[in-house]
Amino acid sequence: MRVASLLPSATETLFALGVEPVGVSHSCDHPPAVHDLPTLTSTVVAHENRSAADIDEQMREVDGAVYDLDEARLAALDPDLLVTQATCDVCAVDAGEVRAAAARLDPEPDVLACDPHSFADALDDVERIGAAVDAESAASELRAALSDRVDAVNERAERAVADEGRPRVAVLDWTDPPIRAGHWVRDMVEIAGGDPAFQPDGPSEPVAWDDVVDADPEVLVVAPCGFDSDRAVDAVADLTARPGFDDLAAAAADRVYAVDGNALFNRPSHRLVDSLESLFACLHPEHAATPPGALDRVEPAEAAEMRSAYSGG
Q: pLDDT tens, 44-99? A: 554 566 566 665 565 555 544 557 899 999 999 999 999 998 765 655 677 888 99
pTM of the model: 0.86
In this structure, the strands spanning 178-180 and 41-43 are unpaired
Give 100-108's long-range contacts (Cβ < 8 A, gap of 24+): 101/69, 101/71, 101/74, 104/71, 105/71, 105/74, 105/75
Q: What value does the mean pLDDT take over residues 190-196? A: 98
Model pLDDT for residues 133-152, shown as the tens digit of each residue = 999 999 999 999 999 999 99
pLDDT recorded at residue 131: 97
Q: Which domains can be identified in the chain, with CATH numbers?
A: 3-138 (3.40.50.1980), 165-311 (3.40.50.1980)
Taking only Cα atoms into account, the Rg of the chain, rounded to an integer number of angstroms, comes to 20
Provide the angle, in degrees to the nearest 10, between the axes of the packed helices 136-164 and 119-132: 170
Ranges 34-38, 217-221, 282-286, 292-296: which has the least confidence: 292-296
pLDDT 10s digits, 216-241: 999 999 999 888 888 889 899 989 99
Q: Pairing between strand 219-222 and 169-175?
A: parallel
- Could you tell me whether strands 67-69 and 41-43 are parallel, antiparallel, or unpaired per DSSP bridges? antiparallel
Give yes or no for residue 283 having a pLDDT over 90.
yes
Find out whether the peptide bond into 177 is cis, omega within 30 degrees of 0. yes
pLDDT for res 149: 94
- Alpha carbon distance 223, 237 (integer Å): 13
